[in-house]
Structure 1
Amino acid sequence: MQVTDIGNKEEGKVWHRKPAPGKGILVTVVRSAQQAKTVRFLHVTFDTTGDSFLAGDYHGNIYVFDISRNRFRLVQKTGQACTALAFNLRRTTEFLVALADYSIKCFDKDTKQLVSWMRGHEGAVSSISVHSSGRYAITTSSDTAQLWDLDSFQRKRKLNIRQSVGIQRVFFLPLSNTILSCFSDDSIFAWESDTLFCKYQLPVPESGPRIYYKAFAVTRDGKSLAAGGRSNLLHLWCLDSRQLVRVVQMPTQVRTVRQLEFLPDSFDGGASQTLGVLSQDGVMRFINIHTCKLLFHMGSHDDAITSATVSPNGRHVVAIMDNGSINVYSVQSLTQEYNKPPPPQVAVVSGGEADHDSSNLKVKVRSEIIQRSAKTSGRRMQTKVLRPPAGSAVEDKENELPAGLNKKRLVALLKAFGEYPAKYR
């Protein structure tokens, strides 16, 4: 595993030799400041290609890391810690950053210029969701969610709530104009983004323990929602039928779900089947939501993950670790063991007494043939002619004579006596 300390560099290589993934990790990125103190990274976000990502640290520095080109570059010094990051999907060089003073700024990563400055929140912005068209963005704090027009950078709508119920998260559903709002009382509402008309509400499950939703993830086709919270249970919702279709129980080590992320696949049509579940123990477990099988995991108790972001192409996962560093994981390396082809069903038996596999019938039969051949190799093998059994349909009808006399016996008598004996005439 390679460790890259970017220090005070403004650009450079992400790694200095070709990565050989150990435990799926391509590289670990740290930033050391003066007196060998480590500056923690706080948030990361991928661009639409999945080849590069932004990372913001505690000092307010924003870096762009290009995995495909093996380069990093300092693109902004905001002077204060960031609380959320997102790329502008329409103008790909622009990105949004929420800062500790509750404001949101838009910068251009190429020119490093400030594009716009948006204010209006009275608390720290915890998430930024950009519409798939790239025109709108939703910023969420604990008491309000605000809808912004990214062409004019003007606020279009403001969603206020009752003081007794806090907002957990508000975000756009993929491929639609629907906004999903999730509250601390486990209620989930869907709104029309233009009019803020309430389209539907998901029914709060009456049976079973309360989960206290905190983490959410939606598939790329916008049809399935996963939700988790202060429990080792996950709820899987079908947003078309608005029904709770499955409850998944995670292992007993999981007590709280901190984050959920679907892992995209090129061949699933957007209906992702693999879900990453980050729990309080710092381990992110990836499960199949249909078979409920644990596929692979990242992180450990000693090397805990704080948050993670999955690339849109599903090739990489970038995790912020508990020590403030960044780990870049290769999904292909993580799934290599899981995706290995099954072992061959017919094995070839090599010489030696130890090469016996009684569990494989074909191998066992082949081994017995080899053993018999070895036993008979030292002596002359007897050749035995197989005859058809009595009463067989394969009979020599031509050799049969009337009165039970066989033609072959008649020929033998004639040769012996020169004529047919008189006593038998």
Structure 2
Amino acid sequence: MPRSPRPPTSRASWPAARAGSWTCRRTGTAPCCCSALGYRASGEPNPAENAPTDEVAAAALREGYALVGSSYATTGWAVEQAVPDQLATLDEFAERFGPARRTIAWGRSYGGLVTTTIAERRPERIDGSLSMCGLVQGGVANWNSTLDAAHALKTLLSPDADLPLTGFPGPEAAARAAETLTGAVEAAQADPRGRARLALAAALHNIPGHNDPGQPEPGDRDWAAQQRNQYEALRRFPTTAVEWRQEAESRAGGNMSWNTGVDYRAMLAKSPHATEVRALYGAAGLSLEDDLAALEDAPRISADPEAVDYMTRNVAFTGQLTKPQLDIHTTGDGLVPVQVTSAHRDAVNRAGVARLLRQAHVDRPGHCTFTTGEQMAALRALESRIGSGRWGSTAAAAMNARARAAEPGAEHSYVDREPAPYPRPYDLAG
């Protein structure tokens, strides 16, 4: 991949070097860890970060880690620039402080995507990787899944509106489309039929019924409360599905996703929210079969081959790990649903290297809402694997014990749970 047009921003100090989003330990048997920066929308501030949070940074520094990393040369979906920017920061660390004994790549959210890309494409630079609430399904799968929910919202809520979902000529057009889609979502919430349709769109993207710590936790069969919580996530969804997409399309040279040939009936049947959807449709006196038929008959969207190739070259995964990776994810993530870990697990299994991947889940609503102890527990579990050559237990009891040791008194919530299948995986392992 080509180098960035300008050097990434970084900062450092010692005994712990701090810059951007890598974590490194130079002495003893512990590793140097590198953490990738999360997503920054176009135009947002772009400071360097060296850890997921200040609290995690402080905990890592107390244990003797050095933290180093970079911002990326540009904001937005900077998939092409992020990996070389991170590797350049490692080079700078080595120049200032000498080579690290071990190096771990780590990152949250979009940073988990970058981390996993480094793990697959530049494994010689690291000893292991840790993705936290990361887009480990890969870039193409991410945009495909986002398109599915957007297709449902447009088809069922605004079938006659001039509402493009891809191919935006610029950010202004994308902003107008996002505003229109948000308005349709808000209007739908006022009517039982609209609420049922919102639940269907949420199910196609696997948005959970408890996805924010500020929401009341609904009962297992309190479909109305679950739908209200999904609605809150869907109100924010057009920003990701439309405005962030436009920025990504501008880099890829066109639309990098498609829904041609997708069977939405089959997708709903596999969703953990299918029962909720059926119940809400029944309560609204609305035919689910008619709406699924409408999704089937609505015009589909084809991808631009060059844009798919761009996204595939940069952030579609083979599953072919050569160093150990640990994925952790919250179960109630409405932005990057927990089912992404199923997609990554399946790709790694098909690549024949299941021994290198472990996954652990935290029973909590929200995106990246980990405690400091939970994140340090994951880092310690991965470090132990690197040092011993064998995975210790990553079951909930063991992970919570590590978390309590790292952060006594906090409520840690690792849970033994296997997520449902990812709705529409796309990877290079097949």
TM-score above 0.5? no
Q: Higher Cα Rg: structure 1 or 2?
A: 1
Q: Which has the higher helix share?
A: 2
TM-score normalized by the length of structure 1: 0.25
Higher RCO structure, 1 or 2 (CA under 8 Å, sep 6+): 2
TM-score normalized by the length of structure 2: 0.24
